[in-house]
């Protein structure tokens, strides 16, 4: 996913081939609702209510949850939030059921003596339905590689968590996120044309390497400086099926604007 602003970055195709990595950054999301008829065309995305660990306090998250609970959100957009582990329970207890919860990471296998780690089983126990794997920050800062991420994703999927990442035996519960690293947290968003080109290339990769059906159905979401002002133009693009939102997700009303940019998808369709 690395590239300079203005240049297209093709997300880890070699990784995709081996395990499947897509990439996300920090926090997460919204997605199309499962009952929305056919396919990825119903918008979906991802939003993070608090960044990777460093964002959020009990008070700030209470405020954000209150904003989300009172926001008017498009019916046919799935909305998922990914708070840091320590706030998941608080969010689960206070957030409306219409919004699902994701973790930002999980262990590679069954729980046990792995100090400091959180298992997929524990996430399910606390009410999570989603987990993010393969975020560029986990790769670049923590040093996770495709193989390790693949193990995590495979185990999470085996426990029926939905995954934003790889090592996929069934694509039903997968969402792929494309985030050019130069766009993450920088205010330099990819142009709709740049993002569309990469999303189309990812979809084409799926078509050639997995199947036409998977290519058609899999949601590919964009992340990197998405905000209330640029989301509408991005949402109009054919292969952009949602967003992975970081900074703008910390402001509930702005996040609602991003969720509701799904209407642009309907207009464009």
Ligand X SMILES: O=C[C@H](O)COP(=O)(O)O
Q: According to the binding rule CB under 6 A, does residue 261 interact with ligand X? A: no
Query: Under rule CB under 6 A, how many of the chain's residues touch ligand X?
Result: 17
Cα angle 152-158-164, degrees, rounded to a multiple of 5:
50
Q: Which stretch binds ligand X (CB under 6 A): 25-33, 93-101, 119-127, 233-241?
A: 25-33
Active site residue 133: no
167 contacts ligand X (rule: CB under 6 A): no
Pick one of 247, 256, 258, 262: the residue that binds ligand X (CB under 6 A). 247
Q: Rounded distance, CA 41 to CA 216, Å?
A: 9
> Are the beta carbons of 222 and 243 closer than 8 angstroms?
yes
Give long-range contacts, CB 8 A cutoff, 24+ apart: 144-151: 146/12, 146/15, 146/18, 146/19, 146/21, 147/18, 147/19, 148/108, 149/19, 149/21, 150/18, 150/19, 150/20, 150/21, 151/108, 151/109
Candidates 1, 49, 57; CA nearest to 24 is 1
Please identify, among the stretches 23-31, 63-71, 113-121, 145-153, the one whose residues bind ligand X according to the rule CB under 6 A: 23-31
Q: Stretches 11-19, 157-165, 197-205, 242-250: which one binds ligand X (CB under 6 A)?
A: 242-250
- Closest residue by beta carbon to ligand X: 25
Q: Does 27 bind ligand X (CB under 6 A)?
A: yes
Stretch binding ligand X (CB under 6 A), from 73-81, 151-159, 179-187, 204-212: 179-187
Residue closer to ligand X (CB basis): 83 or 224? 224
Question: From the candidates 179, 199, 254, 264, which is the catalytic residue?
Answer: 179
Residue 185 touching ligand X (CB under 6 A): yes
CB nearer to ligand X: give 25 or 196. 25
Helix (H, G, I), strand (E, B) or coil at 175: strand
Distance in Å, CB of 246 to ligand X, minimum? 2
Position among 26, 55, 194, 261 found at the interface with ligand X (CB under 6 A): 26
Binding residues for ligand X restricted to 200-229, rule: CB under 6 A:
223-226
Residue 135 annotated as catalytic: yes
Exactly one of 99, 164, 184, 220 binds ligand X (CB under 6 A); that residue is 184
For 103, phi and psi rounded to 5 degrees?
Answer: -95, 165
The contact pattern for ligand X, residues 43-62, with x = CB under 6 A and - = no contact, is: -----x--------------
Burial 26-55 (b: 16+ CB within 10 A, else e): bbbbbbbbeebeeebbbbbbbbbbbbbbeb
Applying CB under 6 A, among 19, 24, 105, 106 the residue interacting with ligand X is 24
The catalytically annotated residue of 135, 137, 144, 254 is 135
Pick the closest to residue 16 from 245, 215, 209, 224 (CA basis).
Answer: 209
* Burial annotation 127-157 (CB, 10 A radius, 16+ → b, else e): ebebbbbbbbbbbeeeebebebbbbbbbbbb
The residues of the shown chain that bind ligand X, judged by CB under 6 A, are: 24-27, 48, 179, 184-185, 223-226, 244-248
């Amino acid at each position: 996913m690395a590239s300079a602003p203005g240049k297209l970055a093709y997300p880890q195709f070699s990784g995709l081939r081996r395990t499947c990595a897509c990439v996300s950054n920090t926090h997460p999301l919204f997605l199309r609702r499962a009952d929305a008829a056919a396919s990825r065309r119903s918008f979906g995305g991802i939003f993070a209510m608090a960044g990777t660990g460093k964002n959020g306090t009990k008070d700030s998250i209470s405020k954000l949850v209150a904003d989300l609970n009172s926001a008017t959100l498009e019916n046919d957009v799935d909305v998922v939030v990914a708070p840091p582990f320590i706030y998941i329970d608080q969010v689960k207890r206070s957030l409306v059921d219409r919004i699902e919860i994701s973790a930002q990471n999980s262990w590679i296998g069954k729980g046990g003596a792995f100090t400091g780690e959180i298992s997929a089983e524990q996430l399910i126990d606390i009410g999570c339905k989603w987990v993010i794997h393969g975020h560029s920050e986990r790769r670049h800062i923590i040093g996770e590689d495709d193989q390790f991420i693949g193990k995590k994703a495979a185990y999470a999927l085996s426990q029926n968590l939905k995954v934003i990442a790889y090592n996929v035996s069934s694509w039903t519960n997968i969402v792929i996120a494309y985030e050019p690293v130069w766009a993450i947290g920088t205010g330099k968003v990819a142009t709709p044309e740049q993002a569309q080109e990469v999303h189309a290339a990812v979809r084409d990769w799926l078509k050639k390497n997995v199947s036409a059906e998977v290519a058609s159905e899999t949601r590919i979401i964009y992340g990197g400086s998405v905000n209330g002002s640029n989301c509408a133009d991005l949402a109009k693009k054919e292969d952009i099926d949602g967003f992975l939102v970081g900074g703008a997700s910390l402001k509930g009303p702005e996040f609602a604007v991003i969720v509701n940019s799904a209407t642009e998808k309907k207009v464009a369709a």
